């Protein structure tokens, strides 16, 4: 009787363990189902952030040598941080929460950060950043589809907007 009870408990524990492992890894396997998505996983250092308006004028919103990272994890989460270089100077007061309106505005305009999840449409070559939270309020709760391509350890995000403007982002894998 005791032997049968022990065996039943053992079978139950094994079954629950198998189910638990399957649940815990299902998100990773769903993402890894796409070969391109699995190659995207990692940390990417921003090299170029270039915008071109409809008239062809090129601008460097974060300077010609911006600093930042895009992080894509295997569970489908992302984090993006970009900073203007050269960096915004420290506030004259020396205290971060006591900047003038102009100083605070310059710091805000010189930095972008958001986080959320991502999905890859391998057939279209598009990665969509699903923004859950952002420094820029208008980004929170939006989907940001971006055409991209991988060339070894270089990630190129490049596209054209409806108004004729274009964007180019080049990132290199951090090793």
Q: What is the pLDDT of residues 81-120, one digit of tens each?
A: 999 999 999 999 999 999 999 999 999 999 999 999 999 9
Q: What is the pLDDT of residues 33-75, one digit of tens each?
A: 468 899 999 999 999 999 999 999 999 999 999 999 999 999 9
pTM of the model: 0.78
Q: Any idea of the CA torsion for 143, 146, 147, 148, to the nearest 10 degrees?
A: -120
- Residue 34: its pLDDT value, please? 64
């Amino acid at each position: 009787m005791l032997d049968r009870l022990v065996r039943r408990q053992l079978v139950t524990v094994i079954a629950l363990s198998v189910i638990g492992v399957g649940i815990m890894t299902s998100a990773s396997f769903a993402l890894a189902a796409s070969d391109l998505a699995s190659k995207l996983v990692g940390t990417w250092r921003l090299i170029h952030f270039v915008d071109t308006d409809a008239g062809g004028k090129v601008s460097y919103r974060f300077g010609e040598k911006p600093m930042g990272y895009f992080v894509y994890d295997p569970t489908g989460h992302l984090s993006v941080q970009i900073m203007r270089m050269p960096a915004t100077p420290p506030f004259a007061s020396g205290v971060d929460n006591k900047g003038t309106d102009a100083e605070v505005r310059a710091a805000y305009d010189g930095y972008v950060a958001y986080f959320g999840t991502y999905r890859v449409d391998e057939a279209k070559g598009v990665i969509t950043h699903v923004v859950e939270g952002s420094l820029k309020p208008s980004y929170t709760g939006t989907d940001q589809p971006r055409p991209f391509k991988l060339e070894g350890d270089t990630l190129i995000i490049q596209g054209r907007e409806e108004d004729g403007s274009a964007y180019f982002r080049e990132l290199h894998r951090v090793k």
